[in-house]
């Protein structure tokens, strides 16, 4: 969905060439607001007066783990991922640092935003850092949050003028094409949730039309302090502006009334539903309170791009970029690469690397979306160009079905699903969970983050669980006498063309393969 939004914005805002030329003659690019006087803010020391601290200590005592070891609990189900966010927000006593690419104005987004307001009301300092690609007329409802004295809202690489986004994108595309894709939520510098999910119904299994299967990690210990350091670096970056510098209008009374009505509607929409029951059944808060939450204690390292990626200062061969560190890790793999990426566009260098590792005898597997399941046909077209080459090299390819054969609560509560998780397992030891897609946009255009967990136990759990799930949700792609073939791992049925994709998708994907747009995918 997030990749689709960028393409949709470009298409919607795109103007005929003549109109753009005329517009350039009449207006100039909006200038950046004056950043002088913006105060630097830092994360506070990890609280020892927080309920979250008590929960963490109980978990450590249960497992006999020292303070210098990080912990991780993976959140694969959307309902549990949402409940975990609400739980750590509700138990925060001092600070909340929240960072997202998309933050929707739908029931789950509205309730989570209201949870931040309630935290601020009890004295918690809330810092909300958002990318500015998501359009919000008059900045509602984040203008409401920003009006609270304990909530501070800042925007990454923003549209300097709150209107006229079309011509801003057309005239300042080089800057605005770089987005902050990072996703984190940290409470009291004691617990963080990072991963692939934005904030919105489709990410938390609350959308009846489509659900994104995803993966997050709930973190404890030193890894949380790494997330906080990352947040501070972005929060204080020259590419980040307080919302009040972009929109200095006083919040109208009508907006506050509308926000109150929206909260009531959001709560009413979820109250008494199967989804609300699923939140309760997840028992995430109860497991935190009674120290029964399964936690993997292991060395955990946070990888993240510099916030000034737009300036291209980090585009080198060092470890400044997440992509370079991942490529080094993949290159050094000895036995297995298991890669899950909803947007998979390996290009020549990536295809050569995976083919070479397969030729060295490694088991190389890639899980991505089928054409019928993807939300961006152009991305699938970029992947499809390399599909035959990868299969010939011995790479195993699995494509996720739009309608998996699973108990709805195990995958989604909606009628259609799409893979959104970005998770890699290397040598049955290393597990990477984050926001990074294996495509050019994540590599060079967006900022990304993720954690590398050194745990053979967790890696084995991941591989076992995913392989079991693939039998219900995926096609295995292979070559039969040089022709592509899709085998439904659940029914055994075989297809000789993109399964369940309508003719418009197939035609569009075929045409898009010929366009020179891979660098933007």
* Angstrom distance (rounded) from CA 275 to CA 156: 33
Cis? peptide before 141, omega within 30° of 0: yes
DSSP 88-142: HHHT-SSEEEEEES-B-SSHHHHHHHHHHHHHHHTT-EEEEEEES-S--GGGTTH
**Residue given tokens 């990477």 in the structure block:** 432
Task: Indicate the length of the chain as a whole number.
Answer: 521
DSSP 466-477: HHHHHHHHEEEE
Nearest 5°: the CA angle 467, 473, 477 is: 80
State the Cα torsion 515-305-1-165 to the nearest 10°.
Answer: -80
Catalytic residue selected from 306, 427, 454, 500: 427
User: Of 138, 163, 165, 143, whose CA–CA distance to 153 is shortest?
Assistant: 143
Laid out side by side, the sheet with 184-187 consists of: 240-242, 151-156, 125-131, 95-100, 184-187, 191-195, 216-220, 70-75, 296-298
Active site residue 308: no
**Residue given tokens 């739980």 in the structure block:** 87
Q: Which residues pair with 363 in a beta bridge?
A: 336
Catalytic residue selected from 73, 104, 178, 181: 181
Catalytic residue selected from 104, 178, 183, 401: 183
* Angstrom distance (rounded) from CA 378 to CA 515: 9
Active site residue 183: yes
The encoded tokens of residue 230 equal 């990352």
Say how many Å lie between the first and final Cα of the chain, rounded. 13
Catalytic residue selected from 188, 214, 305, 439: 188
The encoded tokens of residue 169 equal 């994108």
Catalytic residue selected from 357, 380, 386, 420: 420
Q: 190-224 burial, b for 16+ CB within 10 Å, e for fewer?
A: bbbbbbbbbbbbbbbbbbeebbbbbbbbbbbbbbb
E strands, 327-383, where?
336-340, 363-369
Active site residue 181: yes
Active site residue 357: no
Catalytic residue selected from 380, 422, 439, 488: 422
Question: Could you tell me the sign of the dihedral formed by the alpha carbons of 206, 416, 425, 436, in that order?
Answer: negative
Catalytic residues: 181, 183, 188, 420, 422, 427
């Amino acid at each position: 969905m997030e990749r689709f939004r960028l393409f949709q914005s470009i298409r919607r805002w795109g103007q005929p060439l003549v109109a753009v030329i005329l517009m350039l003659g009449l207006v100039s690019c909006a200038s950046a607001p004056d950043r002088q006087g913006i105060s630097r803010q830092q994360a506070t020391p990890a609280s020892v007066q927080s309920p979250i601290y008590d929960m963490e200590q109980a978990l450590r005592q249960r497992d006999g783990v020292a303070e210098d070891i990080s912990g991780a609990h993976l959140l694969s189900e959307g309902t549990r991922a949402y409940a975990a966010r609400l739980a750590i927000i509700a138990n925060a006593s001092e600070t909340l640092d929240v960072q997202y690419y998309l933050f929707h104005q739908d029931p789950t987004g509205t309730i989570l935003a209201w949870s931040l307001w309630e935290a601020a009301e009890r004295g918690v300092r809330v810092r909300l850092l958002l990318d500015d690609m998501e359009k919000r007329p008059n900045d509602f409802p984040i203008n409401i949050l920003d009006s609270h004295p304990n909530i501070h809202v800042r925007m990454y690489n923003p549209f300097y003028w709150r209107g006229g986004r079309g011509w801003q994108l057309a005239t300042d595309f080089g800057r605005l094409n770089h987005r902050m894709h990072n996703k984190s939520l940290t409470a009291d510098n004691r617990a963080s949730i990072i991963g692939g999910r934005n904030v919105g119904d489709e990410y938390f299994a609350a959308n009846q039309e489509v659900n994104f299967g995803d993966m997050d990690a709930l973190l404890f210990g030193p890894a949380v302090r790494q997330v906080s350091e990352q947040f501070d670096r972005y929060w204080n970056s020259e590419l980040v502006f307080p919302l009040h510098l972009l929109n200095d209008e006083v919040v109208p009374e009508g907006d506050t009334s509308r926000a109150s009505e929206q909260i009531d509607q959001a709560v009413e929409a979820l109250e008494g539903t199967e989804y609300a029951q699923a939140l309760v059944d997840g028992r995430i808060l109860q497991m935190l309170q009674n120290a029964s939450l399964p936690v993997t204690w292991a060395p955990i390292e946070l990888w993240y791009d510099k916030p000034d990626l737009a300036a291209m200062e980090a585009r080198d061969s060092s470890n400044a970029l997440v992509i370079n560190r991942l490529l080094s890790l993949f290159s050094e793999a000895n036995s297995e690469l298991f890669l899950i990426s909803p947007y998979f566009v390996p290009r020549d260098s990536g295809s050569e690397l995976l083919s070479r590792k397969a030729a060295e005898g490694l088991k190389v597997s890639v899980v991505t979306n089928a054409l019928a399941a993807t939300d961006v046909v152009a991305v699938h077209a970029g992947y499809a160009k390399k599909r035959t080459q990868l299969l010939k090299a011995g790479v195993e390819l699995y494509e996720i079905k739009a309608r998996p054969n699973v108990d709805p609560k195990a995958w989604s509560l909606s009628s259609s699903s799409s893979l959104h998780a970005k998770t890699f397992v290397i040598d049955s030891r290393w597990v990477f969970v984050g926001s990074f897609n294996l495509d050019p946009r994540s590599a060079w255009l967006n900022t990304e983050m993720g954690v590398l967990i050194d745990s053979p136990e967790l890696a084995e759990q991941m591989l076992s669980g995913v392989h079991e799930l693939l039998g219900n949700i995926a096609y295995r792609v292979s070559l039969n006498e040089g022709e592509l073939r899709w085998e439904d791992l659940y029914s055994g049925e075989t297809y000789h063309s993109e399964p369940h994709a309508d003719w418009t998708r197939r035609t569009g994907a075929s045409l898009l393969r010929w366009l020179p747009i891979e660098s933007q995918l």
